[in-house]
Amino acid sequence: MSKSFDYDLIVIGGGSGGVRASRMAASHGKKVALVEHQALGGTCVNVGCVPKKLFVYSAHFAEDFDDSKGFGWSTDKPSFNWHTLRDNKTSEVHRLNNIYNNLLETVDVQLIKGRGTLQNAHTVRVDNKDYTAAHILLATGSRPFIPDIPGSEHALVSDDIFYLDELPEKIVIIGGGYIAVEFACILNSFGVDTTLAYRGDMLLRGFDTDIRQRISTELIKKGIKCRFNSNVKSVDKQGNGQLCLSWDNGESSKADHILFATGRISNTTNLGLNNVNISTKNNGDIIVGDDYQTNIPSIYALGDLTGGKKLTPVALAEAMHFVDQLYHGKKEKMDYSSIPTAVFTLPNIATVGLTEEEARDKYTEISIFKSEFKSLKHALSGRDEKTFMKIIVDKKTDKVVGCHMLGNDSGEIIQGIAIAMKAGATKAIFDSTVGVHPTTAEEFVTMRVATSSD
Ligand code: NDP
């Protein structure tokens, strides 16, 4: 380490990307400090992926109790205790916070508690004390964005749902992305009267159209009320605490809560970007090159803050690349193609590679293989739920360029498919792979006849 600095690396932000980068740098002998003012683990551990997935498991039980009857089980009507779930979830989050603390201690990363503000290209101020480093990494993540409408101060964001004192009787969720559809499924399963209001006509923009069409059908079957082409104009809090929502078509609705799931914006408030003139896009995302370097050579940024795919595994992979590039001279850039993702709706959505629309733009000729069926489980459960799977193939090379699924456990299934696609698997390889029987996943290797072909 250069003698003129306190540290080799100061990381601001103790979420997935920041913790991973600190640990990797420190375990390779660098002197590292991590600045964080809240619990370690960031959005994913505290108010995102982890507690959300625990809620998804809980939500699934509502269906499982029902489904078990066709398999010979009978139970008294089960009841749900929100406080038990909420508090057990919080205990697990605290356990993970401690693990993160221990991981940092093990490799001698110094944790500086407080908010870090850039003072200059090599200095971070925390609680009026200055710390210097040869390099600084910004990894402060993102926070929920709430549109500016009258009464929006009465709205909840996803962070709040994890700590509600009581479940509402009735909620309206605004948005049609990951968080809106996941929380609609969760809250509906907990017995909350749930309305999902989206400004467009098809949920989950960016996903394959076949999936987008089918997910709303499944959500509506479960009792979620979907409003499309619908914008809330204002929210009024009434004397009894209830909210009155006015819609752009002149209608109004009452609800106990309104949840805005309308995207996330970069967490750059009080980060001191102006002190060092770091370049940002109009929406506040920090501009970086392939090596995560900002326009200030000693300052880097990664994860949600840079406006790419806001996914934990992406931030983790970026952190590994950042350390490899800065300290080990590696030149490989991160491969952002074919990043698999799942939306933990009931049933799950999972996807890897291109949508049909994207594949049509990119390739001259494609073949599409689709399968839609009722899974074996639902032959006895009686549940009216369809599984849908789709494979997109570049005809010229026979390579599988997109796989999409709506169905139970698709989040688990798509990981293996993503490995095959990363390895460049052709449709012939899919076809020659022996299925695991009887599973839903085997359908990915038994779709022989194209449903459409250019
Ligand atoms: P998304 O970007 O996924 O969705 C935002 C939604 O809000 C879109 O439907 C968008 O509509 C709508 N919207 C945006 N602005 C307005 C507005 N002014 N008025 C009305 N509607 C609006 O964001 P989320 O908040 O759902 O999630 C943030 C990110 O977090 C995700 O993109 C994802 O990267 C990550 N995430 C990942 C999860 C996972 O991996 N399972 C789970 C949860 C979050 P339109 O489509 O028309 O723009």
CA distance 128 to 446: 64
Determine the distance separating the centroid of ligand 1 and the alpha carbon of 291, expressed in angstroms.
27
What does the mean pLDDT of the chain come to? 97
Whole-number pLDDT of residue 75: 85
Neighbours of 289 (CB within 10 A): 10
What does the block give as tokens for 403? 């796989």
Residue length of the chain: 454
pLDDT of 399 over the 90 cut: yes
CA distance 321 to 314: 11
Q: How large is the greatest C-alpha to C-alpha distance in the chain, in angstroms? A: 73
Token pair 């020659």: residue: 432
How large is the average pLDDT for residues 180-205?
Answer: 98
Q: Assess whether 321 carries a catalytic annotation.
A: no
**CB distance 30 to 315 below 8 Å:** no
| C-alpha dihedral (17, 51, 193, 168), degrees to nearest 10 | -100
How large is the average pLDDT for residues 209-218?
Answer: 98
Which ligand 1 atom is the nearest neighbour of the CA of 344? 41
**CB distance 119 to 130 below 8 Å:** yes
Nearest CA to ligand 1 atom 47: 200
Which ligand 1 atom is the nearest neighbour of the CA of 206? 46
Whole-number pLDDT of residue 3: 65
Nearest CA to ligand 1 atom 15: 262
Helices (H) and strands (E) in the chain, counts: 13, 22
pLDDT of 280 over the 60 cut: yes
CA distance 6 to 3: 8
Sheet of 257-260: strand order equals 225-227, 193-197, 170-174, 257-260
What does the block give as tokens for 99? 């693990």
Burial string for 323-355 (b: 16+ CB within 10 Å, else e) reads bbbbbeeeeeebeeebbbbbbbbbbbbbbbbbb
16, 247, 264: residue to mutate for ligand 1 pocket, most atoms within 8 A of CB: 264
Of 122, 135, 321, 437, catalytic:
437
Whole-number pLDDT of residue 2: 55
Which ligand 1 atom is the nearest neighbour of the CA of 175? 7
Determine the distance separating the centroid of ligand 1 and the alpha carbon of 409, expressed in angstroms.
22
Which of 98, 145, 147, 114 lies closest to 310, judged by CA? 145
pLDDT of 118 over the 60 cut: yes
Chain-centroid distance of CA 239 in Å reads 36
pLDDT of 269 over the 80 cut: yes
What is the DSSP secondary-structure string of 242-285? Answer: -EEEEETTS-EEEESEEEE---EEE--TTS-HHHHT--B-TTSP
Predicted confidence (pLDDT) per residue in 284-305, tens digit: 999 999 999 999 999 999 999 9
What does the block give as tokens for 98? 């401690």
**CB distance 246 to 174 below 8 Å:** no
Predicted confidence (pLDDT) per residue in 83-111, tens digit: 999 999 999 999 999 999 999 999 999 99
CA distance 186 to 237: 25
Write phi, then psi, for 158 (nearest 5 degrees).
-55, -35
Neighbours of 150 (CB within 10 A): 12
310, 318, 348: residue to mutate for ligand 1 pocket, most atoms within 8 A of CB: 310
Which of 256, 197, 196 lies closest to 223, judged by CA? 196
Which of 29, 24, 40 lies closest to 7, judged by CA? 29
Residue type for position 311: L
What does the block give as tokens for 39? 């619990």
How would you classify the pairing of strands 225-227 and 116-120?
A: unpaired
CA distance 143 to 194: 23
pLDDT of 373 over the 90 cut: yes
CA distance 94 to 91: 5
Predicted confidence (pLDDT) per residue in 307-366, tens digit: 999 999 999 999 999 999 999 999 899 999 989 999 999 999 999 999 999 999 999 999
pLDDT of 140 over the 60 cut: yes
262, 341, 412, 414: residue to mutate for ligand 1 pocket, most atoms within 8 A of CB: 262
Residue type for position 427: K
76 pLDDT band (50/70/90 cuts)?
Answer: confident
Chain-centroid distance of CA 346 in Å reads 15
The residues lining ligand 1, judged by C-beta closer than 6 Å to any ligand atom, are: 147, 174-180, 182, 198-200, 205, 261-264, 309-311, 341-344
Nearest CA to ligand 1 atom 45: 205
Strands (E), 337-379: 341-343, 349-353, 366-374
Which of 251, 241, 262 lies closest to 146, judged by CA? 262
Whole-number pLDDT of residue 64: 96
Whole-number pLDDT of residue 454: 86
Determine the distance separating the centroid of ligand 1 and the alpha carbon of 174, expressed in angstroms.
10
Determine the distance separating the centroid of ligand 1 and the alpha carbon of 181, expressed in angstroms.
9
Determine the distance separating the centroid of ligand 1 and the alpha carbon of 390, expressed in angstroms.
24
How would you classify the pairing of strands 32-36 and 7-12?
A: parallel
Determine the distance separating the centroid of ligand 1 and the alpha carbon of 261, expressed in angstroms.
6
> Angle at CA 128, nearest 5°, toward 124 and 129?
60
